[in-house]
Amino acid sequence: MSMNNALQPQAGAEPAVPSVFQLTLRPDNIGVITIDVPDEKVNTLKAEFAEQIGQVLQQAQRLPGLLGLIIISGKPDSFIAGADISMIANCRSAKQATALARQGQTTLASLSGFSVPIVAAIHGACLGGGLELALACHHRVCSLSDKTVLGLPEVQLGLLPGSGGTQRLPRLIGASKALDMILTGKQIRARQALKMGLVDEAVPLSILLDTAVARVQKGWRAKPRLPWQERLLNGPLGKALLFSIVRKKTLEKTHGNYPAAEKIIDVVRKGLDEGSASGYEAEALAFGELAMTPQSAALRSLFFASTALKKERGASAKPRDIARVGILGGGLMGGGIACVTATRAGLPVRIKDINHQGISHALKYSWDTLDKRVRRKRLSATERGRQMMLISGTTDYSGFERVDLVIEAVFEDLALKQKMVAEVEQYASPQTIFASNTSSLPIGQIAEKAQRPEQVIGLHYFSPVDKMPLVEVIPHAGTSAETISTTVALAQKQGKTAIVVADKAGFYVNRILAPYMNEAARCLLEGEPIEHIDKALVEFGFPVGPITLLDEVGIDIGTKIMPILVKELGPRFASPDAFDALLKDGRKGRKNGRGFYLYAATGKNDKQKKVDTSVYTLLGVIPNTTLKSSAVAERCVMMMLNEAVRCLDEGVIRSPRDGDIGAVFGIGFPPFLGGPFRYLDRLGATQAVAQLSLLQQQYGERFAPCERLQQMAEQQELFYPPIVDKE
């Protein structure tokens, strides 16, 4: 029988839907299953593929003399990026979600129980359900490409791996490494995966298939033993100690806000204590429970929102191609913007600064960032050199005639920024877009003296630029649609999530942050200790407390923004007068080592950070805890929520979705709550108005619930339409 005949359907059979899994038989009797989801950039697993996997394995089983199978992707740079999480949105009960997990477990069990060796040949992203599929294979080989990453990121969606990942991974690499991977959702690169035993070989892409073939030809091989440290931790005492430490550390990070983390620990432990069958059952049940939690719903909503934003242009016009970018200012922001433009967008960057020192500073920023990647073996020294060559500097405007878009990152001074616009219009081409990285100045004012105001726009980055995922794109009334879409496209190339916001004081992120920070300041002036205020908001779910954040941003920066907000939006934005004493005392925060906290000499070790008690004397405060943590958090958060609704009502943001992404990605609003608008829907407008009204009686008019929120309470409205049961 020929290879082609062996793989043909029987005569008279009904034509089947084309399978995502295509089997071909090599002359050496090794079958290759190619995964290729049609019309998609990457492979994602869907529930309906379970039957197709079963069919392709049955097809393979019928082949006489089959030595083994290789599973490989038909996509150029992706193995399997995960499972399609919209499957979970279609589940209406924990029972349905548990059934989905059991289906995944059963499907992958057919791989692990197959009669000949199966090798996963991995190139590109192998994440979530993709890694679970690879774990079900008998061997794994991967490419050494930078594009190859392996991980189980389900925890980031408030879930756990539901197709056997919590059971197979600990047995393969040991419980401690498996827990670290599953609890963090971190992505593992090829060399690291090889070192930890996650893959059997890591080789250049050019020989990936040959390596997989050689692995099949070796036949069944005994599973390598775990390192002695992992074997020790598998013993009764070691296991008890490991899980005790992991649980304690996890709760310190999550503060009990992420139920998936605790479920992961329980399910892994159950499988190790009671055996695989109990472990798989516990995994499926836990998956079902977690899929129905509000935390998972919120985290999944953020995933869908950020995915949708990556595909949006921000305006109706087609974006222009950007070949070169200019940057004005070589400071911390300018250096960071240059770095992401060269290293992520892959575009040549020309930095202009008033002196060579500024240019050197900006170049060093990129060098240090890339060097860190070289030291971690995530980048070759050659590639570092290639990327650094994309960045050049000048103290004049030489080279700017070829620049398509200029990002201005100079001091927050209106006259200076207007001067920058005039100079760019003089020295760059007539088509050059001018994007201002301002955090507070109106873009309309920056553009008011421009010859081509339609090409002026705001592009607000957050510090540190290489870590913060958000940018605000701020068109003024005269900005053209093409300028908006081109700027959004550049931000997306830089790896950023861009939201388009209106040209109003504070834009969106700083506007909702200001009342939150001011309320924390008022709590401090009432005598609440600094560490109590910070701890209250960290327990609520923010990554750092508001006082720490003020030290990080810079006390001087915060006080510059407030007067602009007060002038445009009213007295509710006024910061307490007592805070002037901090500036007069030369306190700027972490950057000069003098703020609310005292910092170690390195300025990096937060564990050595202590409250500077002299702040209390300076502010005339005697610290004494009188409010519960929940009361402190309520005051700060309700101010932020109320302001977010005003921003939506005034058209500062285009949708609740953009407001949620802006708050989570821009200031670390607790992701498990989904953002201000998802959280308000969870509270209910009636409850939110009641809380604000009570705070208004206790603390003053600044807590008065805004009109939009009161209307929503009266009419029982939500910001997001309720999910309608399809059954």
Phi-psi region of 529 (alpha: psi -120 to 50; beta: other; left: phi over 0): beta
132: which 2 tokens? 């679970």
Nearest to 340 by CA among 462, 221, 442: 462
Q: Give the Cα separation of 149 and 188 in Å (integer).
A: 5
Task: Find the DSSP H helices in 494-628.
Answer: 509-525, 530-540, 546-553, 555-569, 580-584, 614-619
Helix (H) or strand (E) holding 687: helix 685-699
Task: Find the DSSP H helices in 275-293.
Answer: 276-291
Q: Residues of 443-472 as b/e, b for ≥16 C-beta within 10 angstroms?
A: bbebbeebebbbbbbbbbbbeebbebebbb
Active-site annotation holder among 472, 519, 528, 634: 472
Alpha-carbon separation of residue 38 from 32, 47, 441 (angstroms): 18, 16, 47
Q: Give the Cα separation of 137 and 142 in Å (integer).
A: 13
254: which 2 tokens? 């999550």
Q: Give the list of residues 6+ apart from residue 707 with CB closer than 8 angstroms, or none.
A: 649
Nearest to 264 by CA among 129, 164, 127, 159: 159
Helix (H) or strand (E) holding 231: helix 228-234
Q: Is 727 a catalytic residue?
A: no
107: which 2 tokens? 């499907």
Burial of residue 636, with CB atoms counted within 10 A of its CB: 0-12 exposed, 13-18 middle, 19 or more buried: buried
Look at the chain and count its residues.
727
Question: Is the bond preceding residue 319 a cis peptide, omega within 30 degrees?
Answer: no
Whose tokens are 């005392």? That residue is: 585
Nearest to 516 by CA among 657, 686, 299, 702: 702
Give backbone dihedrals phi and psi of 568, rounded to 5 degrees, phi first. Answer: -85, -30
Q: Give the Cα separation of 170 and 42 in Å (integer).
A: 27
Q: Give the Cα separation of 388 and 396 in Å (integer).
A: 21
Q: Give the Cα separation of 492 and 619 in Å (integer).
A: 44
In this structure, the number of other CB atoms found within 10 A of the CB of residue 585 comes to 12
Q: Give the list of residues 6+ apart from residue 57 with CB closer than 8 angstroms, or none.
A: 110, 111, 114
Q: What is the DSSP string of 413-444?
A: -HHHHHHHHHHHHHHS-TT-EEEE--SSS-HH
500: which 2 tokens? 């388009």
DSSP 8-state secondary structure symbol assigned to residue 571: G
123: which 2 tokens? 């190139």
Task: Find the DSSP H helices in 344-397.
Answer: 356-375, 381-388
Alpha-carbon separation of residue 43 from 186, 281, 489, 512, 650 (angstroms): 20, 27, 24, 39, 41
Residues assigned a catalytic role: 472
